[in-house]
Structure 1
Amino acid sequence: MLSRHKLLACNLLISLLMLFSAQVRAEPSFYQVEVNSEVTHQLRALVLDLDARNSVTELIDKAGLISHLNNQIFGEQLDNQSLSVDQYVNLIRRKDIESLRKLIRHYKSLARYQWPTVTPIELRLGLRAKEIAKLRWILARLGDTPAYSMPPYRESIFDPSVEAGLKRFQRRHGHVVDGKLQLETVLSLNTEPSIRVNQLQNALKESLKRHDETKDYVSVNLIDHTLRITKNGVEQLVMPVIVGKPTSKTPELNTTISVITVNPAWRPPASIIYSDILRSVEKQPNYLRNNDFVFKSYTSDFVDNNVAQMDTSSLKHKLKTSALVQLPGSKNALGKLRFTIPNSDAIFLHDTPRKHLFNRANRALSHGCIRLSQPELFAKYLMNKEPYQTRQIFKNALKSNQTRHFRLTSQLNINIAYQKAWIDKDGHLQIRDNVSGLGREDG
């Protein structure tokens, strides 16, 4: 048997071993400390990219940083949405997020300069003027011309490299690409970098909201008149669209795509009847008949197709008891397909027989709804997420003249907004400043 002293020594040794083991378990490993420190650093850097402040020293831990980020990004929607540490870490690695953050940092560095003010002058190759030196400096800082090192007298000469850079700048800003210092181009050149920082931060927030890498996100930019579908920050589908003109702007919406209608009938709203259709009837007595319009009774299923030679007075009288409806077919204003998006403004997406309008640079031309240049491709993308049997029925419906409605089981989110800054498929920053000027006729 062990002596009393030896027994006490053994018990003490066991206690010390247990205490040491507990301390080892409680203390994080060096690797864990390094990982936590790196994550905190990444989160703090993201806060700085999204924020105008130069310091976030009061945010010292991950919990505080996450809370601040969620407030920055989701604002009033915070109760319904928020992201975790792991989600932010994954988003930080995404290519589109990384590109926007690099641009934010670049424009923040440019904001430290006294930004030059260019005045409009008539440019020609070989011209020497101080405005050209300013122009060359701006284009180089914005990446539209290569960085240069040349004598001061050469900086002031308008040469092919400055002309090419100016055209690239105009293309990125949605201006007429003519290599001239027109007013719109000058206003964009003179815009302070701090304004661009704010635009890029808004674009970054929108990208961070599309955080679920398993989801497809549909967006319509009302400024560049384009629909895009992205998944995990990568563009899946892009097409030109027609949006509302300045007198009937498409509203900003955040909703879902719920129903596809094949061979839709069109019931024009009163605003279109009294602004457009009455005028057409006045000019062409057989306008209603030639464009497949009928009347449907408000109180029964009765359809009246007796619309030949109808004048404006008769049309107004008939509208008291019946709705004006354009039947499905090649002349229907909605084309072959209509896409329902729940909203209170009666806005939807649809096909159109007037395909030539998509060739215009400015496509703010509709009464508010969004016309798609490739509705069949868009419908195929949506239907590929539906069950096989539904897809087969849909294919058959496209071959018929009957109206069919397909409620989607996989309803994609769609965001319709005025987005002033974004990165295009070639990785170039695109900026649009002139929202009020949208809708000018360009032939």
Structure 2
Amino acid sequence: MQATRRGLLAATAVTAAAPRARAQGRPKIRIGVLNDQSGTYRDTTGLTSIACVQQAVQDFGDRGFEVEVLRADHQNRPDTGATIARQWIDRDGVDVIADVPTSSVALAVGEVCRQKDRIHLNASATAVALTGEQCSPNTIVWSFDTYMMAASTGGAVVKAGGDSWFFVTADYAFGHSLEQQTTLKVTAAGGTVKGSARYPFPDTTDFSAFITRAMSSGAKVLGLANAGLDTVNSVKQAKEFGLDRRMRIAPLLMFLTDVHALGLDTAQGLVLTESFYWDLNDRTRAFARKIVARTPNNWPNQAHASAYSSVLHYLKTVADMGPEEAKRSGAATVARMKAMPTEDDAFGRGRIREDGRGIFPAYLFQVKTPAESKGEWDLYKLLSTLPAEEAARPLAETGCRMVRS
């Protein structure tokens, strides 16, 4: 499939970032935010992730070099994403490509960045291959992946008696990874998988046939190995079919924005995992206030927060190294990022592991009832916390060639 004209035109859009009063001749860092601005992940990433990157630049301030932010819509197509990435690097001198939802696109963009020694800061793709068998010295995956979702949400559902599953799975790298990682957790606990149905991505909106198969499978749990609008539509249609009266619905990658789209009448009681929630503490609330001022109709979720934090940590690293040195080699800059502890309002303190995985806690939430909610975006109550070291796949299991034996 050829890169579309709309995707390539979107790649030329530029957003002002750093303060404009600049002396000529100062070094310039260019960051390209590449995500879905028109499809199933437009709310979970999209314009709010761009706003978060802009906020990171603003919070970083003026430290002797300019920062320019470009943006583009990859339309969830690997070829489009890879073409934009090459164009940005070769023509526009982009140093970092940030966000990049859709694991198939992220893997393609990560390879371009490796070949051209630029940086891939992934905030929203989740396939464990990004820090596993296809890990790269040029890629960082900030705060969540399919292992984390399987360990937290999947593990909690199994412990609660959900020992037989049927999966509805997006048929690409992310969906496969999420189904696989959750299956490992289910079977390790003595459970079984009754079956799965994979659907074409991104061209499916009717999930009724897959829901019917799940209801006839005899499984106790419907595992949704999808995300964004696909998860929203799956949950809505499952409830319309009355599946929730016979099976438990387990959305394995669900975001605050998805719950808001569903509404509490439909989403109440669902259990899910995020690495960030705006109402966790004073620091997360302070961060959220800044982002909501930019995008009042779409509050930040874990993907948005990851876009902010990863770019802020990168800019701190550039300041530490010096912009000229940081621009010479993406791999060398990523190595310095791994050597420096992370610290920001969205995630607090953390670190980046040698395979490129950010190490942060995971939070298991239950969606509030309408009576429990005190506001439009007051949607979660915290059930438990998975410690940072347990939220990431053990290094020995990653298959990453950068991991020391």
TM-score by length of 2: 0.22
Q: Which has the higher relative contact order, 1 or 2, with Cα contacts under 8 A spaced 6 or more apart?
A: 2
Q: TM-score, normalised by structure 1?
A: 0.21
Compare CA radii of gyration and give the structure with the larger one.
1
